[in-house]
């Protein structure tokens, strides 16, 4: 089995864990790329699995680094939450043999491409979590217009707008009041950020639509992709978001379902902390 070993060396413990893992991993298979600085064009190499050390940010970065040649990712969690990173460093020694034996599955997830004309020229970016158009200093409200397949769907004043994938629905969109989507759906979530309106609400739309976000007024607005790529937008900019031609692929090992992750990482579906000497309230 051929491996990429990826991560962000600037994050705590990543380099130490990666270098500790490397000799043992070379005994299990072929380490094609070892890159903790995001310097290598991964589209020029082939691998069966990408081991990404870090948190969700490291996985988002790796997905963009792989570009149009996505390799299934197994996340080794060294981050704060690690929603996409299922495996702890202590579990690697038991998980890798399972991978070599073929005891895993690979799930497929929507990615997007984002097109925009910035002050530095046209940009086209691939991403996994979300596109955000938001205000910058001095943080005045933006006037935004959302069009779906060329038809104006909404116009409002507010702090910005988020277009997220199902994977990204548990990130910035969730914090802004958006819903949680099943990770394997082919849909986008569009969530206004602090709209100055009682009627602007989140919508969920099919991934085969194109979303255009026009900055109708707002002298200092920014485009943020996956919380990592940031570009300043000139006024009257139009950001276009659509489904990418490739999908992100995630390695899933036994005993780690999506709902288990929601429960363990976000405490979703947990009951309130009732006092032991009181019965829960009746729902009838």
Residues annotated catalytic, as ranges: 56
Place of tokens 């759906």: 185
> What gap in Å lies between CA 59 and CA 181, rounded to an integer?
19
Spell out the residues 6+ positions from residue 224 whose beta carbon is closer than 8 angstroms to its own.
Answer: 131, 132, 133, 134, 230
Sign of the C-alpha dihedral computed for residues 245, 250, 256 and 262 taken in this order: negative
Q: Is the peptide bond before 177 cis (omega within 30 degrees of 0)?
A: no
Tell me the longest C-alpha to C-alpha distance in the chain. 65
**Helix 14-28, helix 92-100: angle, nearest 10:** 40
Q: Of 92, 83, 91, which Cα lies nearest the Cα of 56?
A: 83
Closest CA to 127 of 113, 117, 109: 113
Cα angle value 229/235/237 (rounded, 5°): 60
**82: phi then psi, degrees, rounded to nearest 5:** 65, 50
Residue 146 is inside which H or E element, if any?
strand 142-148
């Amino acid at each position: 089995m051929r491996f990429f070993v990826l991560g962000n060396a600037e994050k705590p413990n990543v380099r130490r864990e990666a270098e500790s893992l490397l000799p043992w991993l070379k005994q299990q298979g072929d380490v094609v790329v070892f890159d903790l600085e995001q310097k290598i064009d991964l589209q020029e190499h082939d691998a069966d699995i990408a081991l990404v050390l870090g948190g969700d940010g490291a996985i988002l970065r790796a997905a963009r680094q792989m570009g149009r040649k996505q390799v299934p990712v197994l996340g080794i969690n060294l981050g704060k939450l690690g929603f996409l990173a299922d495996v702890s460093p202590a579990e690697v020694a038991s998980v890798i043999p399972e991978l070599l034996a073929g005891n895993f599955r690979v799930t497929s997830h929507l990615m997007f491409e984002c097109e925009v004309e910035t002050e530095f020229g046209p940009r086209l970016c691939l991403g996994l979590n979300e596109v955000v158009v938001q205000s910058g200093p001095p943080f005045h409200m933006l006037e935004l217009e959302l069009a779906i397949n060329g038809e104006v769907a909404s116009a409002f004043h507010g702090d910005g707008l988020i277009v997220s994938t199902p994977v990204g629905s548990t990130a910035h969109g969730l914090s802004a009041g958006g819903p949680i989507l099943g990770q394997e759906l082919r849909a986008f979530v569009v969530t206004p950020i602090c709209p100055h309106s009682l009627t602007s609400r989140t919508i969920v739309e099919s991934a085969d639509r194109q979303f255009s976000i026009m900055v109708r007024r707002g002298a200092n607005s920014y485009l943020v992709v996956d919380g990592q790529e940031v570009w300043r937008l000139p006024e009257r900019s139009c950001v276009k978001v659509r489904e990418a031609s490739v999908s992100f692929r995630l390695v899933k090992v036994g005993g780690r379902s999506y709902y288990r992750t929601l429960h363990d990482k976000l405490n979703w579906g947990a009951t309130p902390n009732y006092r032991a000497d009181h019965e829960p309230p009746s729902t009838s």
